[in-house]
Structure 1
Amino acid sequence: MHQTSVDFFPFSPLNPGREQDASTSPEPPASLVEELKQLSLQATAERHLGNEAGISFAKLTQMVLTRLSPDKAEFVFETPPPPYQMHTPPASLETVLNEFSGSLSCYPTLFNGVSLSNITEAADTLTELRIPDEPHLSNLVDFYFAHSHTLYPIVNRQEFVATLEQLSTNPNDPWVNSPLPLFRIYIVLAIGATTYCSVTLGEESEAMSYYNKAMLYFEDALGYGEMATLEVLMLQVSYSFFNQLGPNTWFLVGVAARVAVGMGLHTSSSYDNMSIEDIERRKRLFFSVYMMDRMVSMALGRPSALHDDDIDITPFAAIEEETGSAEDDLSRDSFQPSTLAIPLHILALRRIASRIARNVYCNTTSKGRSPEERNHILQTLHKELIEWRRNMPFPLPDTHHQVPQMSTSWYDFNFYTHLTLLYRPSPLSPTLDEQRVKILADAASMSIRQALNMHRQQRFAYNWLNLLAVFTVTLSLVYATTASPDSLAVVLKQSKAIQDLEAAIEMFELMSIKFPAAKKIGRMVEQIVVRYKDICNAL
Structure 2
Amino acid sequence: MALKTAYNGSQPLSRSDTHQPWLKLFVDDGFPVFEESSFPPPDLLDVLVDLYFHNISCHYPLLHEPTLKSSIAAGEHLRHGSFGATVLLVCAIASRFTRDPRVLLDDSSHPHSAGWKWFNLVEAVRRLSFSPAKLHNLQVYALMAIFLQGSTAPQSTWPAIGAGIRAALDVGAHRRKMYASTPTVEDELWRRAFWVLVVMEWTIGYALGRPSSIHDEDFDLALPTECDDEYWLTPEGEPLFEQPQGKPSKVTAFVYMIRLGQILSFAMRTVYSSNKSKAQLGNSDQQWEQRLVAELDSGLNKWTDSLPSHRKPALRFLVMSLRDDTLRWDPEQEDVVFLTQAASLKAFYYFCQTAVHRAVLSSHRESALSLPSTIICTNAARSSIQGMLFLSGMVLMTNAFAAKRSDRVVNVEKDVALARKAVEMMHSLQYESHASGSLAFVNLPFPFGRVR
Count of aligned pairs between the two proteins: 331
Partner of 1:190: 92
Partner of 1:379: 294
Please, which of 123, 143, 151 is the counterpart of residue 51 of structure 2?
143
Alignment gaps of 5+ in structure 1: 1-125, 168-173, 461-493, 504-539
- Cα deviation for residue 369 of structure 1 reads 5.3
CA contact (8 A) 1:141 1:188 kept: yes
1:227-242 correspondence runs (5 A)? 227-242=135-150
SS at match of 1:266: coil
- Cα deviation for residue 291 of structure 1 reads 0.9
In structure 1, what is the Cα distance between the partners aligned to 2:215 and 2:195? 12
Partner of 2:319: none
CA contact (8 A) 2:226 2:243 kept: no
Letter paired with 2:40 = I
1:481-520 correspondence runs (5 A)? 496=432
- Cα deviation for residue 260 of structure 1 reads 1.1
Partner of 1:336: 247
Partner of 2:31: none
Are positions 1:161 and 2:69 aligned together? yes
- Cα deviation for residue 352 of structure 1 reads 1.3
1:200-211 correspondence runs (5 A)? 203-211=111-119
In structure 1, what is the Cα distance between the partners aligned to 2:358 and 2:155? 32
In structure 2, what is the Cα distance between the partners aligned to 1:279 and 1:230? 13
- Cα deviation for residue 163 of structure 1 reads 1.9
- Cα deviation for residue 215 of structure 1 reads 4.4
Between the aligned residues of both structures, percent identity stands at: 19
In structure 1, what is the Cα distance between the partners aligned to 2:142 and 2:131? 15
1:12-91 correspondence runs (5 A)? none
Distance 1:459 1:342, change over 3 A: farther
In structure 1, what is the Cα distance between the partners aligned to 2:61 and 2:165? 16
Partner of 1:285: 193
Distance 1:251 1:130, change over 3 A: closer
My pick for the range that moved more, 281-290 or 370-379, is 370-379
Are positions 1:421 and 2:332 aligned together? no
In structure 2, what is the Cα distance between the partners aligned to 1:360 and 1:153? 30
Partner of 1:406: 340
Are positions 1:323 and 2:231 aligned together? yes
Partner of 1:447: 384
Distance 1:369 1:295, change over 3 A: same
1:290-330 CA distance string (max 9 Å, x none): 11211221111111011222112221211223222799665
Distance 1:137 1:272, change over 3 A: closer
In structure 2, what is the Cα distance between the partners aligned to 1:156 and 1:339? 13
In structure 1, what is the Cα distance between the partners aligned to 2:155 and 2:341? 32
Letter paired with 2:371 = E
In structure 2, what is the Cα distance between the partners aligned to 1:205 and 1:436? 41
- Cα deviation for residue 138 of structure 1 reads 3.9
Please, which of 312, 316, 324 is the counterpart of residue 220 of structure 2?
312
Partner of 1:178: 80
- Cα deviation for residue 209 of structure 1 reads 2.6
CA RMSD of aligned residues (A): 4.1
Letter paired with 1:279 = D
Please, which of 173, 176, 180 is the counterpart of residue 265 of structure 1?
173
CA contact (8 A) 2:58 2:341 kept: no
Q: Which has the larger radius of gyration?
A: 2
CA contact (8 A) 1:221 1:228 kept: no
